[in-house]
């Protein structure tokens, strides 16, 4: 059997990938720190007993050496995710942790034949837009003065005119928040550094991944979690900005199928690929989908709040991955239905949205439109 190390293997994407690797007959070792807010310090019940679990930190050299012993394939999912301004933690965990992984493989663990790195759609920032006068443009973050006035849409960075959101391919990374910046570093390590040391690597830039096992405690884990707990608690779903932001939601099942592809396609090495849902969905449309599945009629609350660093519109072009035979199979309706059914039956299911909002407000991450 091939021995596979999955860092962050007790988490959302990691644990589903672990299941798929075991189903293929691989010997799986998981390295995870099991820290809040994603975890509560205990081993999740869904983690299979047949895996070897090492509880430790990807930033710790001795721990990583132990984890890499006799390993041939690495799936590197361990990461720090949040909206909080913990700048150094993003880079020490995501960038430096990944650098340590490659450092050890290059120096000591040459048996490793493949590294799959979890990158993110966040590396694109606002992504690609189309200006009638200037063609393809990549705007920067929207100015605070603009957001404070409730003017949500992007403008052309050249002429200041209106622009239309496009489908963002893998060509240009333009991150503008600490998470996206740290993910770009991981992405570069897999696609630019790894070739020099002949460590075949693939970076997957995931869109907004949705599915079972997403943590209820982590504010980063997304709109589907937030809307589900609010609606099930008879609270109005809170929507940021005006709810017309375009997003690209992808099922965990489609993501796992993409994750397994490099095992069979060596030509993917040293490249980055978008993994998205290949559809445009507004936040308000997602609210309606969740409400329909939950059987709740409740109008969303749109009070003019916005998060610092959020993108206005972002949708990933998955053409490169489709060229390798992968395609989206799961519908948004099925993904929402499966998640809601799972979530409401979970013992840890509870509405912590209000507490998360207050924490973000206190740290200045969540702000309100100024009264006019």
DSSP state string for 55-79: E--TT-HHHHHHHHTT-SEEEE---
Provide the CATH number for the domain formed by 3-368 in this structure.
3.40.50.720
How far CA 127 is from CA of 258, 309, 311, in Å, comes to 22, 13, 8
Q: Quick one: which H or E segment has residue 88?
A: helix 87-90
Q: Indicate whether this model's pTM tops 0.85.
A: yes
State the Cα–Cα distance between residues 86 and 92, nearest whole angstrom: 10
Q: 204 with 170: CB under 8 angstroms?
A: no
Break the chain into its structural domains and give their ranges: 3-368
State the Cα–Cα distance between residues 9 and 5, nearest whole angstrom: 8
Q: 369 with 145: CB under 8 angstroms?
A: no
The residue to which tokens 């013992």 are assigned: 347
How far CA 185 is from CA of 173, 180, 251, in Å, comes to 11, 9, 25
List per-block mean pLDDT (blocks of 10 residues) for the chain, which spans 372 residues.
96 97 98 87 94 98 98 97 84 98 97 98 97 98 95 98 98 94 98 98 97 78 84 90 96 98 98 97 96 91 92 97 98 95 85 72 87 68
Q: Which residue, 181, 189, 140, 175, is CA-closest to 160?
A: 140
pLDDT given at position 125: 96
Q: Which residue, 155, 153, 10, 171, is CA-closest to 78?
A: 10
What phi and psi values does residue 302 have, to the nearest 5 degrees? -125, 80
pLDDT given at position 371: 75
Q: 117 with 210: CB under 8 angstroms?
A: no
Q: 57 with 34: CB under 8 angstroms?
A: no
State the Cα–Cα distance between residues 159 and 319, nearest whole angstrom: 30
């Amino acid at each position: 059997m091939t021995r596979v190390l999955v860092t962050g293997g007790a988490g959302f994407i990691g644990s589903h990938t672990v299941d798929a690797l075991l189903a293929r007959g691989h010997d799986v070792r998981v390295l995870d720190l099991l820290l809040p807010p994603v975890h509560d310090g205990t081993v999740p019940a869904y983690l299979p007993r047949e895996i070897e679990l090492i509880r430790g930190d990807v930033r710790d050299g001795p721990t990583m050496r132990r984890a890499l012993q006799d390993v041939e394939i690495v799936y590197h999912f361990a990461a720090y995710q949040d909206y909080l301004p913990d700048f150094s933690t993003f880079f020490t965990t995501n960038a430096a942790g990944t650098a340590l992984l490659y450092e050890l493989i290059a120096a000591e663990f040459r048996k490793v034949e493949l590294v799959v790195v979890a990158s993110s759609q966040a590396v694109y920032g606002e992504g690609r837009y189309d200006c009638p006068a200037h063609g393809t443009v990549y705007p920067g973050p929207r100015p605070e003065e603009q957001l404070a006035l409730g003017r949500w849409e992007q403008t052309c960075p050249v002429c200041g005119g209106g622009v239309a959101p496009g489908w963002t391919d893998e060509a240009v990374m333009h991150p503008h928040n600490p998470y996206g910046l740290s993910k770009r570093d991981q992405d570069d390590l897999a696609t630019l550094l790894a070739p020099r040391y002949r460590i075949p690597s693939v970076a997957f830039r995931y869109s907004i991944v949705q599915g079972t096992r997403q943590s209820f405690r982590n504010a980063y884990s997304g709109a589907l979690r937030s809307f589900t707990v609010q609606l099930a608690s008879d609270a109005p779903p809170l929507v940021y900005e005006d709810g017309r932001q375009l997003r690209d939601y992808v099922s965990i099942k489609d993501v796992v199928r993409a994750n397994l592809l490099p095992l069979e396609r060596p030509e993917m090495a040293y490249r980055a690929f978008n993994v998205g849902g290949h559809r445009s969905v507004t936040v308000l449309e997602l609210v309606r989908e969740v409400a329909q599945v939950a059987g709740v009629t409740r109008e969303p609350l749109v009070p003019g709040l916005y998060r610092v660093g959020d993108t206005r519109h972002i949708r990933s072009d998955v053409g490169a991955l489709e060229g390798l035979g992968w395609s989206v199979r799961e519908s948004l309706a099925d993904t929402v239905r499966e998640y809601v059914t799972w979530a409401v039956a979970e013992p840890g299911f509870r509405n912590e949205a209000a507490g998360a909002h207050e924490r973000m407000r206190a740290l200045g991450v969540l702000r309100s439109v100024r009264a006019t």
